[in-house]
Chain A
Amino acid sequence: MATRLSDVLRSLPARLRLEGSGKQAIETAHHRLMVGGVLFVVAFAVVGLRVVDVTMLKEGHEPRVTQHNRPTGAERDRADIVDRNGELLATSLSTASLYANPKLILDANDAAAKLAKALPGGASEKDLARRLASDRSFVWVQRNLSPRQQFAVNRLGIPGLFFQRDERRVYPHGALTAHILGFTDIDNRGLAGIEQSYDDRLRQPENPLQLTIDIRLQHVVRQELAAAVEEFRAIGGAALVLDVATSEVLALVSLPDFDPNAPGTAESDTRFNRITLGTYEPGSTFKIFNTAAALDFGVASLRDGYDASKPIQVSRFSISDYKGQKRWLSVPEIMMYSSNIGSARMGVDLGRERQRQFLSRLGMLKAAQFDLPEVATPLIPNPWRDINVMTVAFGHGISVTPLNVVVGVSAVVNGGILRPATLIKRPEGTPVPGERVLTQRTSEQMRALMRLVVERGSGKSANVPGYAVGGKTGTAEKIVKGRYHRDMRISSFAGAFPMNAPRFVIYAMLDEPKGNKATHGYATAGWVVAPLVGRLVNQIAAIYGVPPVDENAPEFQFRDQTLINVAVR
């Protein structure tokens, strides 16, 4: 007890010296500590080096957080569609869609009653109650609410209702572009028109899709066409304006049309695109191709002619002229007076194979290549008998779409190059694909003939002084129950202007027009469609500032030399 611990400690030597097994144990411990220490040093060195590497060497500059957070434009899943001048034709707007989790809804009947009141025009109260009482955990209540509706629903304060950001396709121009753009379903999948055919492209929302349509012209064409449809109490109509140089469609109208903002309410016949989906007997407008074929194959020249003094009888068919001249007619006169007899004889001269080959070259025998999904295949005679050769020559016994006719007419007047029509604007300077289908000389002659039709023939009312309009009228009776119906016609006009160097191809058609007092009861193309084309030419020229031509200028002498002295005595 007397010795304290401190005394004992003091009596120990300053350094313990252990010998034997004790010494060895301590040395082992030393080594182990050393190894552990070295490991730690290495580990810290690695971490330190990595810190230097990450903070100073690799990412030495400012952090890139801002770049990751930068907004990449309003989130949209569908691209805009604009016209050739950049005018917005279709866009997607953010909306809120209302959905419910029925498991969280306390009183389904009460909620349904309130919702039905807040969302008039939506689902019925009964239907809502049924949906809200279901045992799922997600049901749509209503898609695409307006801000006002959203506010109204929020104010109800019903638990279990939620909003989801949604998108809605909006067409600011409504029915004006209906047949071109088509429409989408509620989930923004294209169901018709450009929306369908360019669905994949439209799903890349960065760049708008530019069309060749000119909305100003589209409006003018639709307005004039609608006026004509009303004036002649037609059941429908269609019109197309094509840029000859590029085959770009500047305006495409089919009446009746619908509001693509509410396609569900549209009746099915309003969704029918007469330009691309309607196949009609073209009637006399087909004489353009028949005559062009005869001239191109050298079967007939402008100085030749055919006997049109009496109707042709082929078995039980009789081919006669609408306004028979009852004499020999020159080729220009056959076009001018629109002689079926003369055309049929010309077709016979041309022969079956060459007729078919020429029409095939012009793309008349197959569905036109186009940017819309709704394109019909022409109905062609099969087998192609001799009687078909005669009737096809003046546009009967064959049904093609107006689009077929327009593309063909464009090739005939533009110097002989067939270019598929397009609705999608090509970048400036892109070469336009095309292939030669008839000679330059035939094209020149055909332009002269088409000019003659408007100057002195059935298309007189399409004439606009200064613009050298040329074209061909066509009136075809509709077939009802296998027979031609006298009072149901398709009256059409296919033409171009200015005829010395065509810039625009115009096509207009009225479905079942009825004559009125102003037309003395006539409903043929010369009376009902040609004046419409004349008005269109006036407006197109004004919009594009087409300089008027002097129709008496020497440029037009080709007409005088070759035609007038033959055609007009």
Chain B
Amino acid sequence: MIRPGNVFWVGLAFTLGYGLYHLKHEVKALEDELFRLNRQILAEQQAIHVLRAEWSYINQPQRLQSLTQRHLDLQPTKPAQIGTLAALPARPAEAPAPAIADSSPAVPAPEATGLKSRVTSNTPAKPAPAKTPTPQKPAVLASHGRETPGAR
């Protein structure tokens, strides 16, 4: 004699059993996946680490120097090549006043900035444009490592 109550309980037991089984399998699969990913992350980190060491190795200054010497035209910077904004002549006005334009023997010669070679190689026959106005005070290349260049 099968009572409906028994059917219910037996059905519930089977359903729960299956549910538990299924869930366990899913969790197991996820854990496997997690384990695999962790392994992979570790392997990638290891690889990155090796690559970083290799990057440092191939960035040896000695090697970079020989490469630049072989392939590039760069030279060590000379002090004369370092200038400051303050050392640049002021921008020419739209209509420069003749008084300013005439009194310009003190225009900082390009040699002083070391840029001469560049300038002259671009425009070989042209001297510095005569209309360059004189800066208000003689340009001093120095800032003496302080914030106020030319401070007296």
Contacts and interface: CB of A to CB of B under 8 A. Distances in A.
Contact of B65 (A74, A93, A174, A219): A219
A173 B60 contact: yes
Interface in B46-90: 46, 49-50, 52-57, 59-62, 65, 76-80, 82, 84
A547 B143 contact: yes
Contacts of A91: 49, 52-53, 56
A549 interface: yes
A546 to B, nearest CB: 7
22 contacts: A69-B35, A71-B42, A73-B45, A74-B45, A91-B52, A172-B54, A173-B60, A176-B60, A219-B60, A219-B62, A223-B62, A466-B79, A498-B145, A501-B144, A538-B76, A542-B78, A547-B84, A547-B141, A547-B142, A547-B145, A548-B141, A549-B143
A550 B53 contact: no
Interface string A364-399: 000000000000000000000000000000000000
A541 interface: yes
B142 to A, nearest CB: 4
Given A498-B145, A553-B142, A219 B79 contact: no
A539 B76 contact: yes
Contact of B141 (A466, A501, A541): A466
A470 to B, nearest CB: 14
Nearest to A82: B56
Please give me the 9 A-B residue pairs with the lowest Cβ-Cβ distance, nearest first. Answer: A219-B61, A542-B77, A88-B56, A466-B79, A172-B56, A172-B57, A549-B142, A548-B79, A550-B142
B53 A65 contact: no
A504 to B, nearest CB: 11
Interface string A215-254: 1101110010000000000000000000000000000000
Given A218-B61, A546-B145, 6 more contacts: A71-B38, A71-B42, A216-B61, A466-B80, A541-B77, A548-B79
B38 A69 contact: yes
Interface string B6-33: 0000000000000000000000000100
Interface string A469-510: 000000000000000000000000000001011010000000
Contacts, number: 108
Interface in A68-92: 69-71, 73-76, 87-89, 91
A252 to B, nearest CB: 15
Contact of A87 (B31, B56, B84): B56
B119 interface: no
Contact of B52 (A88, A542, A554): A88
Nearest to A553: B142
Interface of B: 31, 34-35, 38, 41-42, 45-46, 49-50, 52-57, 59-62, 65, 76-80, 82, 84, 140-146, 150, 152
A204 B41 CA distance: 21
Nearest to A65: B31
B79 A71 contact: no
Contacts of B57: 172-173
Tell which of B31, B57, B61 has the most Cβ of chain A within 10 Å: B61
B150 to A, nearest CB: 8
Contact of A467 (B50, B56, B79, B143): B79
A501 B38 CA distance: 55
A100 interface: no
Contacts of A149: none
Interface of A: 65-66, 69-71, 73-76, 87-89, 91, 93-94, 170, 172-174, 176, 215-216, 218-220, 223, 464-467, 498, 500-501, 503, 538-539, 541-542, 545-550, 553-555
A329 B62 CA distance: 47
Nearest to A545: B82
A88 B79 contact: no
A554 B61 contact: no
B49 A93 contact: yes
Contacts of B79: 464-467, 538, 541, 548
Nearest to A215: B61
A467 B88 CA distance: 20
A554 to B, nearest CB: 6
A15 to B, nearest CB: 26
Nearest to B141: A548
Nearest to B77: A542
Contact of B53 (A172, A219, A220): A172
A555 B38 contact: no
A554 B82 CA distance: 21
Contacts of A538: 76, 78-79
A74 B46 contact: yes
B63 to A, nearest CB: 10
Contact of A71 (B45, B60, B82): B45
Nearest to A88: B56
Given A74-B46, A501-B146, A548 B62 contact: no
Nearest to A548: B79
A94 B146 contact: no
A225 to B, nearest CB: 14
A451 to B, nearest CB: 14
A450 to B, nearest CB: 17
Given A467-B79, A542-B76, A500 B60 contact: no
A489 to B, nearest CB: 29
Contacts of A223: 62, 65
A61 B42 CA distance: 28
A554 B152 contact: yes
B138 to A, nearest CB: 10
Nearest to B43: A74
B52 A546 contact: no
B140 A553 contact: yes
A476 to B, nearest CB: 32
Contacts of A216: 61
Contacts of B34: 65-66, 69
A220 B62 CA distance: 9
Given A467-B79, A538-B78, A554-B152, A71 B41 contact: yes
Contacts of B84: 547
B146 A550 contact: no
